Amino acid sequence: MRLNDFKLERFFARFEFNAPYLLCTSDCESFTIAELLALEKNAGKAFNKLHLGYTETLGNPDLRREISRLYSNSAPEDIIVLAGAEEGIFIFMNVLLGPGDHIIVQSPCYQSLSEVAHAIGCNVTEWFMDAQNNWELDLDFLKENITRQTKAIVVNFPNTPTGYTMPKEMFNELIEIARRHDIYIFSDEVYRFLEYREEDRLPAACDVYDKALSLGVMSKSFGLPGLRIGWIAARDKALFNKIASFKDYTTICSSAPGEFLATLALRNKEYILKRNLDIIKANLGLLDIFFKKYAHLFQWVKPRAGLLIFPHLKFEQEAEAFCLDLVNKKGVLLLPGNIYNYDNHHVRFGFGRLNMPEALKKFEEYLDNLFAVGYH
């Protein structure tokens, strides 16, 4: 298998740990170990006594139980714990797909959602969200592109990078289309629980369709990417068992401290999610003001969930050159759309971090200076 470079990860590798103002990160503000341990009396003592032997391949039973509580129709036995969401994408594609198979992938997307399939020799149809129509998806396109070789539909709501979340009625129709054709849905739900209004939360795909796999992780909504704990929830036992067997060749089992802290965080999920949503909502208010002020430079779609947006640049300069100049001059990092193999006229903003207001202010200084000196 020959994988092309992961453009987004290569871009972050250059800047993430030296640019002071990260205005495009995809996760919520994180926590320290001490902050997590303070959530429960005796947690610190138990953590100190944690045994650092190998852990169970499918994941610690307490953790699998806590994860299953995020779902309405999936049991602890339907959960396999993985090293982040990334391992879930890699293993799912490897166990399901072969050369000549076909998948349909919502686009633009986190690159591995299409790249791993592509590297396997699978034909990939990109199902584009419509930038002219609030990033909506067209179900007719989906229906027209399903073939006898189609093995899976890959979706991601709330979406990276657009922030788009499908309306519930459409999501139900999507499930029915997959059911009619008897194909899998791989549903990347790493931003689930960050809906601004609970009624906008979609059901987890694995809860409503027995050939759906839901991908979850501690990294995004919970703000704990350093734990490297993710999971797949799936009720299709044959596929589940293949995923478990494949894991013997990737990570075998998860890190014991990661599992301990993820279990603790999930027991306290209401607190963590509320803190994260409070930050996001406050930052979204600032973006509202920002995009009104700079309406002549950017066009954005205000999301209903998550912490990412993908505004269109209304000026001539290409996104990549714009982002590089911005980070070099002001230390503010935005992510250019060409990283997503999309056009070079969109940029990704992320607004889950506490220092986002400061980063936005620096960005405003940059814009005011750039456009005051007459760039067009």
Task: Find residue 126's DSSP bridge partners.
Answer: 105
250: left (phi over 0), alpha (psi -120 to 50) or beta: alpha
Instruction: Check binding of 84 to ligand PLP (CB under 6 A).
Output: yes
Is the Cβ of residue 68 or residue 111 nearer to ligand PLP in the bound state? 111
Is the Cβ of residue 227 or residue 264 nearer to ligand PLP in the bound state? 227
Instruction: Check binding of 150 to ligand PLP (CB under 6 A).
Output: no
Instruction: Check binding of 80 to ligand PLP (CB under 6 A).
Output: no
**In contact, 92 and 291? CB cutoff 8 Å:** no
Out of 158, 203, 225, 311, name the contact with ligand PLP by CB under 6 A. 225
Residue 234: partners with Cβ closer than 8 Å, 6 or more residues away: 78, 80, 206, 212, 213, 214, 240, 243
Q: How far is the CB of 366 from ligand PLP (least distance, A)?
A: 25
Site for ligand PLP in 299-358 (CB under 6 A): none
Rg of the chain (C-alpha set): 21
Q: How far is the CB of 129 from ligand PLP (least distance, A)?
A: 14
Is the Cβ of residue 74 or residue 156 nearer to ligand PLP in the bound state? 156
- Give phi and psi for 82, each to the nearest 5: -135, 170
- Secondary structure, 3-state, 201-218: CCCCHHHHCCCEEEEEEC
Q: Which range binds ligand PLP by CB under 6 A, 83-91, 100-108, 255-263, 294-302?
A: 83-91
Out of 11, 19, 21, 26, name the contact with ligand PLP by CB under 6 A. 26
Q: How far is the CB of 117 from ligand PLP (least distance, A)?
A: 14
Q: Give the residue closest to ligand PLP by C-beta.
A: 84
**In contact, 157 and 125? CB cutoff 8 Å:** no
- The gap from C-alpha 281 to its chain's centroid, in whole angstroms, comes to 18
Is the Cβ of residue 85 or residue 261 nearer to ligand PLP in the bound state? 85
Q: Which range binds ligand PLP by CB under 6 A, 15-23, 82-90, 138-146, 236-244?
A: 82-90
374: left (phi over 0), alpha (psi -120 to 50) or beta: left
Is the Cβ of residue 193 or residue 366 nearer to ligand PLP in the bound state? 193
CA distance 36 to 134: 38
Residue 371: partners with Cβ closer than 8 Å, 6 or more residues away: 297
Out of 160, 254, 276, 283, name the contact with ligand PLP by CB under 6 A. 160
Task: Find residue 105's DSSP bridge partners.
Answer: 126, 154
Instruction: Check binding of 155 to ligand PLP (CB under 6 A).
Output: no
Instruction: Check binding of 190 to ligand PLP (CB under 6 A).
Output: yes
Q: Can you give the binding site for ligand PLP, defined by CB under 6 A?
A: 26, 84-86, 110, 156, 160, 188, 190, 217, 219, 225, 230
